[in-house]
Amino acid sequence: MNPSRAWRIVLYGTLALFLCTGVYIIIVLSSGLPTLQELENPRQDLATQVLSADGVVLDHFATTRRTYVPYDSIPSDFIHALIATEDRAFRDHWGVHVMRIFKAAVKNVAAMETREGASTITQQLALNLYFKREQSLARKIREAWTALQIERTYTKNEILEMYANTVYYGKGAFGLRVASNTYFNKEPMQLTTAECAYLVGLFKAPERYNRDDSAGIARRNLILSMMRDEGYITPDVYAKASTESLNRPAPTDVARGIAPHFVEMIRQQLGRDGEWAERLAGHDLYRDGLVITTTLNSRVQRYANEAVAEHLSQYQKLFDNSWSWTANKQVLSKLVLKAIRQRPEYISASASERDALVRKLSRNKSFVDSVRRITSTIQAGVVVIDAHTGAILGMVGASPQAMKLDPAARYSLNHVTQIRRQPGSSFKPFLYASALESGLSPDSLVDSGPFSITLPSGTVWSPRGASKDGGMMSLRQGLKLSVNTVAARLITGVTNPIAVVDLCRRMGITSTLHAVPSIALGAVEVSPLELTAAYIPFVNMGLSVPPVAITRIEDKLGNVLWEAKLPTKVEDALSAKVAYSMMGMMRGVVDGGTGSRVRQFYKGDAAGKTGTTNDFADAWFVGFTPKLVAGVWTGFDDRRVHFTGDYGQGGRAAAPIWGRLMQKVSADPNLPYRASKFPTQAASEDSVRVEDIINPPNELSSTQEDSDSGTTR
């Protein structure tokens, strides 16, 4: 062949190859690229952060658990580890490193099997932001072109910032802040050099390295050596960091999750309430990176968790020793059947399959034992409210033991907001307040002996719970010892059911209330949150404030979308005189009455009321200090399981939790709830001002301990 002709063939072939390649690149780049708008405002699904009032991250609402952290809040060691590992020439290229691509291609051809990546940090960012992870030449071309556009649009620091906030770290964590909290329970700027290297090491195989600590540490140390070689850390820093132990906290120690039922209440409130939907119009609760600041105080919450756990760890043993499944075989059979019918496989089965499943599981010892454990676990609901602002400071929605048995219980029934139970005698303060409004005083005398009355319907009402000795008894003493016959005489002879219902409405109770005489003994159903909040006017000299859980909502840029000033609403519920009298009467319940077990733990000024329902199904204590109102309920999810004796009274099964909690809170010098004194005399109606209620004087108290002399419910 003529040499000149051969060269022409090679030349034309090369030109054709370049032309075809160019056409292919043009075709590839003609579609599938991010728009200018998308480049300037890259879409990232950001998790909404739920924060406590003192800045602790309680949890996230997200489809992808990711929050954003600005560049100046990213530790320099993390940036250095990232560059040393992923892209040493990051500061020098324009998004694509041509020489690195060529070297990687040569190495990959030579190695045949081992694949070396050539993507820069900017290319990886383009992949994370705009492209799926399919392996194709077209995707690589689009990725490279987009990387060039990103470099034209953003500074190097902005690219590093976006990368740190975009990449996946394993365990469902996207972005540096979530990863830092997930793995080390820290904010990013608190990370050590070794921890920064560990997080960067996760990029290569996040699920492998976070499960295998030895592999994770080896990968971390490799990255530390790269940082040393690049001059980012000294040999001494390398030596120290490479020997640092992997101090990852246990899951229960991580800040997220200290108040799961409170967070779920927030989520449901924002999702179902039309008023909130209007406030969040145009914002996605799960994708737009909102910041929701709540009223919850993380320290109060931890004390509430501890108080419940300490009491129930002892009380569960007491119940287990007294409850007999042998004596309650029929109850167990019904509970097992109920549990079977709630299982997904039962719901989706045919009639014949269901019968077979019932027979199978009813004979399964492991399944039956699990039903026993779950249904006999004492449940609890605790809520703490700032009496002067209405801020919900703490909420325990279920017992710790129940959440250990069933992790899903963390997000199940909230025993503060989602149950309605009879409050028993903890409802009596509303009756007594109504009696005081009718003209009686705390020292007015009422017969405490047996009582019986024929109602208009012809029914004879004869409540149990007369005093042992009978005779006349002051209202103060009647409430202190929770004498039912005193309450019965008040509802039928001094005030009336309609007046009590009206007072309850003023105090904030919204549940259905029937105006019948048995309301005097708490024969109504209310939620623990509702009942606790209704005690607030007793502290505030008659002024009620509604409970509040959210104080501020911001978008991802920090713009305030909504903000509340606490208290959000203040209304007159009682006269100051009646409120003061009730405060004094309920102090007697704690100082020698049915709630005196509080004094085993808390010595400051306190008042409240116990409650116990029939068959010891529900135990209550709702009480208050000069600054806080807190309610405690203990019982069981199924009312066929219940306490079996006097140990199930509110003064024993619930009041100690309240006492433990207040002791812990008042002893914390970092909280503004140190023990203080109640007013020494009632203010007149005209002298009560809202600002006085919100900012009361703070004085230390010196209340002596009394023994428990209460013998009735």
| Kind of pairing between the strands at 65-66 and 173-174 | parallel
> If pLDDT is split at 50, 70 and 90, which confidence band does 466 have?
confident
Distance CA 485, CA 443 (A): 17
DSSP type of residue 46: B
Q: What is the DSSP string of 559-619?
A: -EEEE--SSS--EE-S-HHHHHHHHHHHHHHHTTSTTGGGGGT--SS-EEEEEE-GGG-EE
Contact 649, 610 (CB under 8 A): yes
In the chain, what are the domain boundaries?
Answer: 57-253, 328-375, 380-439+490-546+566-694
Distance CA 688, CA 682 (A): 10
Contact 595, 585 (CB under 8 A): no
Distance CA 549, CA 293 (A): 9
* Tokens of residue 509, six digits: 């109770």
Angle between helices 235-242 and 193-201 (to 10 degrees): 70
Distance CA 271, CA 255 (A): 24
Distance CA 694, CA 675 (A): 16
**Vertex 171, ends 170 and 175: CA angle to 5°?**
60
Q: What is the DSSP string of 597-614?
A: GGGGT--SS-EEEEEE-G
Dihedral pair phi/psi, residue 474, rounded to 5°: -70, 155
- Residue 29: per-residue pLDDT: 43
**Alpha-helical runs (H) found in 131-186:** 137-153, 156-166, 176-184
Angle between helices 176-184 and 193-201 (to 10 degrees): 110
> If pLDDT is split at 50, 70 and 90, which confidence band does 181 have?
confident
Q: Which long-range contacts (CB under 8 A, 24 or more apart) does 494-499 make?
A: 494/435, 494/438, 494/440, 494/446, 495/431, 495/434, 495/435, 495/437, 495/438, 499/434, 499/437, 499/438
Output the CA–CA distances (angstroms, integers) from residue 24 to 18, 20, 31, 35, 135, in the order listed.
Answer: 10, 6, 12, 20, 17
**Alpha-helical runs (H) found in 154-234:** 156-166, 176-184, 193-201, 206-211, 213-229
pLDDT of 632 above 90: yes
> If pLDDT is split at 50, 70 and 90, which confidence band does 682 have?
very low
Class of the CATH-defined domain 380-439+490-546+566-694 = alpha beta
pLDDT digits (tens, 9 = 90+) for 376-403: 999 999 999 999 999 999 999 999 887 7
- Residue 17: per-residue pLDDT: 61
**Spatial CB neighbours of 347, under 8 Å, sequence gap ≥ 6:** 341
pLDDT of 25 above 50: no
- Of all residues in the chain, the percent with pLDDT exceeding 90 is 60
* Tokens of residue 420, six digits: 């309605």
Distance CA 131, CA 34 (A): 9
* Tokens of residue 23, six digits: 């056409």
Output the CA–CA distances (angstroms, integers) from residue 534 to 331, 542, 630, in the order listed.
Answer: 35, 11, 11
pLDDT digits (tens, 9 = 90+) for 261-293: 999 899 888 876 567 877 887 788 877 889 999
pLDDT digits (tens, 9 = 90+) for 398-437: 998 877 776 555 567 899 999 999 999 999 999 999 999 9
Q: CA neighbours within 13 Å on the CB side: how many for 311? A: 32
Greatest Cα pair distance, the chain, in angstroms, is 133
Dihedral pair phi/psi, residue 608, rounded to 5°: 170, -170
Contact 461, 453 (CB under 8 A): yes
- Of all residues in the chain, the percent with pLDDT exceeding 70 is 81
Fold matches, 57-253 and 380-439+490-546+566-694: no
Question: Rounded mean pLDDT of 308-317?
Answer: 95
> If pLDDT is split at 50, 70 and 90, which confidence band does 691 have?
very low
Supply the Cα-derived Rg of the chain in whole angstroms. 33
**pTM assigned to the model:** 0.76
> If pLDDT is split at 50, 70 and 90, which confidence band does 698 have?
very low
**Alpha-helical runs (H) found in 247-348:** 260-272, 274-279, 298-322, 329-341, 344-347
Question: Rounded mean pLDDT of 59-87?
Answer: 87
Distance CA 653, CA 673 (A): 25
Distance CA 590, CA 609 (A): 8
Contact 146, 33 (CB under 8 A): yes
CATH topology of domain 57-253: Penicillin binding protein transpeptidase fold (1.10.3810)
DSSP type of residue 679: P
pLDDT of 704 above 50: no
pLDDT digits (tens, 9 = 90+) for 495-520: 999 999 999 999 999 999 999 999 99
Distance CA 476, CA 428 (A): 12
More confident residue, 598 or 215: 598
In single-letter form, the type of residue at position 185 comes to: N
